[in-house]
Chain A
Amino acid sequence: MARVQLTDVTKRYEDVTAVEEMNLDIKDGEFITLVGPSGCGKSTTMEMIAGLTSPSDGTVMIGDRDVTTLPPKDRGISMVFQNIALFPHMDVYDNISFGLRLRDYEKAEIDRRVDDAAGIVQMEGMLDRMPDEMSGGQRQRIAIARAIVREPEVFLMDEPLANLDAKLRVHMRTELQRLHKELETTIIYVTHDQAEAMTMSDRIAVLNEGELQQFAAPLTCYNEPRNEFVAGFIGSPAMNFTNGDLTGSGFSSAHYDVTFPTEGVGISPGTPVTLGVRPEDVYPEETLDDAADPTELIDAEVDVLEPMGDEIFVYLMLAEDTESGMGGDVSGDDTLLMSVSPDSTLEEGDLINVALDRAKIHLFDDDTGEALVHGVARATGASADATGEEAE
C-alpha cells in the first residue's frame, strides 16, 4: 500500500512524444483508472510506473521512494496484463509462486501465500493445472493471484479484462472491486472502456494525446468535464455538441438558441463556443416538467428510434433556425440525440419540440476546448415558451 506520485513524467520517442508532463498524485489505497482512446499514452504511463519503460523526464515515486531508475522487480509492484501472460511452461502453482521463488522465500511461506491467493480468486484445487488447460476467465484469475501473492504496494492492471467475453467482463469487474475492498492496495488500472473506468474507480485520469485531461472522481468527470474531450469521451452514448456563438443573450447556433445571462461565462459575447448537453438532458415537450430548467423549445424531426429496453435513444434532425440569421456551420451538428423513457409514444418521422435542461448545459471555449460553465442560469424573462420555470 503506497501513495504513487508522478511528477512531470514525460516520454519522448524519436519522432513522437507519447506522454507529456504527466502529473498524478494517487492516494494510498486508491483505485484509479487511466482511460483514453488508443494511443493516448495510458499504457506508456503505466509502463513507466512499472519500470518497463524509463521516462525521458520527470520522477516516479512509490511510497516515499523515488523509483524512477529502479528496475521493475525492485518497485514493490505487481501487474496483470491484457494478454494475461501466464508462463505457458509452468503449472498454476509455479506461475503464482514465480515471484516468491525468485525472492528465495521459504517453501512453507510460499505454500501458505499461494493457497491464500488462490483462495481469494476462488481457484483452490487447480494448482497443478497448466495454463492451456484453463478457460480465459480462469487464466485471468490465476494472473491476478500471481499479482496479489507478493502482497505488492501497488497493483498495476493493463486492460486485464479486454480479452474476456462481455458477460465475463462484467462479472470480473465486480470481482476486482471486491478484491480491492479486501486487499486495500493501491490499484492503477488502464482501460480504453470508459464504462469500466466509471464503474470501478475512485478516481479516473482521462488521457488524450499524451496529456492528462482530467483527474477526478467518475461523477465529477461526468458532470463537470474539464474540457470538450472529457465531455465527449466519458458517458455513453456521447454528449451532444452544437457549434455556435456566445451572444449577449445566450447561445446561438444555426439550429437553435438558448438564452441565459452571459456575465458569468467569462468570455465576451461574439466568441465561438460549443454547447454540450447529454442525451438524458434533452426532453420532449410532454415530459418537460422533469427538466430542472428547460430551455426554449427547439423544432426537430424524429429520425431514428433505438429502443434499449430501459430507455429509447431518439435521433433528432434539427430544423434550420431561420430567425436567428446566424448562419454558422451546419456541418454535422444538425442532429441531437435524446434519451426518453421506454413508454414514450414517439415514432420515426414525428415532428416534435424538444428542450434542453439549462442546469445541465455545458459550454466550451472553441479555442482551447476548456469548459466555460457547467449549467447556466435561468434567462431573465427572455424565454416565453418555458413552462416548467418553477421547477427546482
Chain B
Amino acid sequence: MSTEQPTGSAPRRERSGPYVAVVRWMENLSETQYAYLLLTPAFLLLGAIAFWPLVSTFQLSLFADSLGQASVGEFIGLGNYVAILTGERTALLPSPFLPQSLTVGAMFNSALAVTVVFTVISVFFETIIGFVQALVLDQNFRGRRWVRVAIILPWAIPIVVQGMIFFLMFQPNLGFLVGTSDNPAFLNQIGLLTTTPLANAQDATMIVIVADVWKTTAFMALLILAGMQSIDRSLYDVAKVAGASPWQRFKYITFPIILPTVMVAMLFRTIQAMRIYGLIETVAGCTTVPSLSCLVITTFNNRMLGSSATVAFITAAIIAAIVSVYIVGYARGDV
C-alpha cells in the first residue's frame, strides 16, 4: 500500500547517488541557512559585477593618473577629488568638471553644470507633461489601449534609436526644423537654434533635453497613473455630491493623494537623468555636451584612470546625496 514500495508499476525513479544526498542536505537546512543558500548565486554575481567594481572604482580614485605604461600612478589619497573639485585639474580634463566662470558658455562646457541643467529641466518637464498624460490615460474612452501604446512606445525604444531620431531631425537642411543661413527654418528665424545646432553646446543640450522628455515622460505618466488609479473612486462620488467641480476634485483629492507617488517617480527619473550618456553620444557627441558620465568615458579614453574613477565616484556620491535628501524629506512628510 505504501508509496515507498509501489506494487505492479514500480516508479522508475532512481534513489541513490549524490543527487539524493544533496537534496537530503538541502531539505534539512534551517530556514535561515536555506535563505542564504538560495541568495548565493544572485549575490555572487552582484558581488563580482557590482560591489567589487564599486569598491575598486573608489580605490582607483585614490591613485594619480598614470604617466607611463602602468595603468595608474602613485597613491595620492583624496588628491584627485581635491584637484577636480577645486578646478586644479581642469586644464588636463577633456572638458571641465566645474564651470570656469558664470557665463552661459562656460556652463555648457562643464560636465557638472550640463548634467545638473539637463536633469533639472528634463525632470521638471517630464513631471508636468507626465501628469497631464496620466490624467488623459485615467479617463475611460474608446481606444485608450492604443493611446497608451502610443505614449509608451518612445519609452520602449533603444536609446541609440532615440538618439538617431533626434540626430536626424536636427540635421541642417535635412529636416524642416533646421535650415541653412540662406534658407533658415522657423526655429532659426526666431533665434532658438543656430543652423548647426548639434555642434553648438547650448542648442545640443536643449535638443538632448527634448529627446529625453519625449522618451521618458511615459515612465512618469505610468507611475502617476498607477497612483491615480489606486485612489478610492468613492471619494470622487462624495466630492461630486458635495458639489465639487472637476478642478476642485483634482485639487482637493487627486493631487494630495498622488503627491507621494509623484515624488517617488521624480526621484527615479532624477537618478536616471544623472546618468545621461548614450543619448548624448548618439545625438551630439560627448565633446559637445559633456555630461558627467561622458567625462568618465573621455578621461578613461585619455588613460586618466584616476580622474575617471574620481568623476564616476563623485557622480555616484551626488546621486546618493539626492536619494538621501528625497528619503529624508519623504520620511519627514510621513511623520
A interface residues, Cβ below 8 angstroms from B: 1-2, 51, 54, 63, 69-71, 74, 76, 99, 103-106, 108-109, 150-153
List residues of B (1-34) whose CB comes within 8 Å of A's CBs. Answer: 1-4, 6, 8-9, 11-13, 23-24, 27-28, 30
Cβ A105 vs Cβ B2 within 8 A? no
Residues of chain A contacted by B12 (CB below 8 angstroms): 104
Residues of chain A contacted by B28 (CB below 8 angstroms): 54, 69, 71
Bound Cα distance A76, B3 (Å):
6
With A104-B12, A106-B9 known to touch, is A76 a contact of B4 (CB < 8 Å)?
Answer: yes
Q: What's the least CB distance linking B257 to chain A, in Å? A: 33
With A69-B28, A71-B24, A71-B27 known to touch, is A105 a contact of B1 (CB < 8 Å)?
Answer: no
Q: Is the interface of B mostly helix, strand, loop or mixed?
A: loop
Q: Which of B9, B24, B27 contacts A105 (CB 8 A)?
A: B9
Residues of chain A contacted by B4 (CB below 8 angstroms): 74, 76
Bound Cα distance A153, B2 (Å):
6
With A71-B27, A109-B8 known to touch, is A104 a contact of B13 (CB < 8 Å)?
Answer: yes
Cβ A76 vs Cβ B13 within 8 A? no
Q: What's the least CB distance linking B46 to chain A, in Å? A: 29
Cβ A104 vs Cβ B11 within 8 A? yes
Residues of chain A contacted by B30 (CB below 8 angstroms): 54
Residues of chain A contacted by B24 (CB below 8 angstroms): 69, 71
Q: What's the least CB distance linking A148 to chain B, in Å? A: 11
Cβ A105 vs Cβ B11 within 8 A? yes
Residues of chain B contacted by A69 (CB below 8 angstroms): 24, 28
Interface string of B157-175 (1 = CB under 8 A from A): 0000000000000000000
| Residue of B with least CB distance to A184 | B1
With A69-B28, A103-B13, A108-B9 known to touch, is A151 a contact of B23 (CB < 8 Å)?
Answer: no
Q: What's the least CB distance linking A267 to chain B, in Å? A: 46
B interface residues, Cβ below 8 angstroms from A: 1-4, 6, 8-9, 11-13, 23-24, 27-28, 30
Please give 6 more A-B residue pairs, beta carbons under 8 A apart, in addition to A1-B1, A76-B2. A69-B24, A71-B24, A71-B27, A76-B3, A105-B6, A151-B2
Residues of chain B contacted by A103 (CB below 8 angstroms): 3, 6, 11, 13
Residues of chain B contacted by A54 (CB below 8 angstroms): 28, 30
| Residue of A with least CB distance to B28 | A69
Cβ B3 vs Cβ A151 within 8 A? yes
Q: What's the least CB distance linking A106 to chain B, in Å? A: 4
| Residue of B with least CB distance to A99 | B3
Cβ A109 vs Cβ B3 within 8 A? no
| Residue of B with least CB distance to A77 | B3
Bound Cα distance A61, B6 (Å):
21
Q: What's the least CB distance linking A341 to chain B, in Å? A: 49
- Contacts A/B (CB < 8 Å), 15 sampled: A51-B27, A54-B28, A70-B27, A71-B24, A76-B4, A99-B3, A103-B6, A103-B11, A104-B11, A105-B9, A106-B9, A109-B9, A151-B1, A152-B3, A153-B2
Residues of chain B contacted by A76 (CB below 8 angstroms): 2-4
Bound Cα distance A152, B2 (Å):
6
| Residue of A with least CB distance to B24 | A71
Q: What's the least CB distance linking A15 to chain B, in Å? A: 15
Bound Cα distance A109, B9 (Å):
7
Bound Cα distance A103, B13 (Å):
7
Bound Cα distance A13, B275 (Å):
47
Instruction: Sort A-B residue pairs by CB-CB distance and give the 9 closest, nearest first.
Output: A71-B27, A109-B9, A106-B9, A104-B11, A103-B11, A104-B12, A151-B1, A104-B13, A150-B3
Bound Cα distance A63, B3 (Å):
13
Cβ A71 vs Cβ B3 within 8 A? no
With A105-B9, A109-B8 known to touch, is A153 a contact of B27 (CB < 8 Å)?
Answer: no
| Residue of A with least CB distance to B4 | A76
Residues of chain B contacted by A70 (CB below 8 angstroms): 27
Q: What's the least CB distance linking B7 to chain A, in Å? A: 10
Bound Cα distance A104, B13 (Å):
7
Bound Cα distance A130, B219 (Å):
37
Bound Cα distance A150, B24 (Å):
21
Residues of chain B contacted by A153 (CB below 8 angstroms): 1-2
Residues of chain B contacted by A74 (CB below 8 angstroms): 4
| Residue of A with least CB distance to B14 | A104
| Residue of B with least CB distance to A183 | B1
Residues of chain A contacted by B11 (CB below 8 angstroms): 103-105
| Residue of A with least CB distance to B8 | A109
Q: What's the least CB distance linking A166 to chain B, in Å? A: 33
Residue among A51, A105, A108 facing the most chain B CB atoms (10 A cut-off): A105
Q: What's the least CB distance linking B10 to chain A, in Å? A: 9
Q: What's the least CB distance linking B24 to chain A, in Å? A: 7
Residues of chain A contacted by B2 (CB below 8 angstroms): 2, 63, 76, 151-153
Residues of chain B contacted by A150 (CB below 8 angstroms): 3
Residues of chain A contacted by B6 (CB below 8 angstroms): 103, 105
Cβ A71 vs Cβ B23 within 8 A? yes
Q: What's the least CB distance linking A140 to chain B, in Å? A: 22
Bound Cα distance A81, B115 (Å):
58
Q: What's the least CB distance linking B3 to chain A, in Å? A: 5
Bound Cα distance A54, B29 (Å):
9
Q: What's the least CB distance linking A154 to chain B, in Å? A: 10
Q: What's the least CB distance linking A322 to chain B, in Å? A: 62
Bound Cα distance A150, B12 (Å):
16
Bound Cα distance A242, B30 (Å):
47
Bound Cα distance A153, B23 (Å):
23
Q: What's the least CB distance linking B41 to chain A, in Å? A: 22
Q: What's the least CB distance linking B190 to chain A, in Å? A: 61
| Residue of B with least CB distance to A110 | B9
| Residue of A with least CB distance to B26 | A71
Bound Cα distance A312, B2 (Å):
50
Bound Cα distance A215, B6 (Å):
33
Bound Cα distance A69, B2 (Å):
19
Residues of chain A contacted by B23 (CB below 8 angstroms): 71
Bound Cα distance A45, B11 (Å):
31
| Residue of B with least CB distance to A51 | B27
Residues of chain B contacted by A99 (CB below 8 angstroms): 3
| Residue of B with least CB distance to A152 | B3
Q: What's the least CB distance linking A207 to chain B, in Å? A: 24
Residues of chain A contacted by B3 (CB below 8 angstroms): 76, 99, 103, 150-152
Residues of chain A contacted by B1 (CB below 8 angstroms): 1, 151, 153
Bound Cα distance A178, B217 (Å):
65
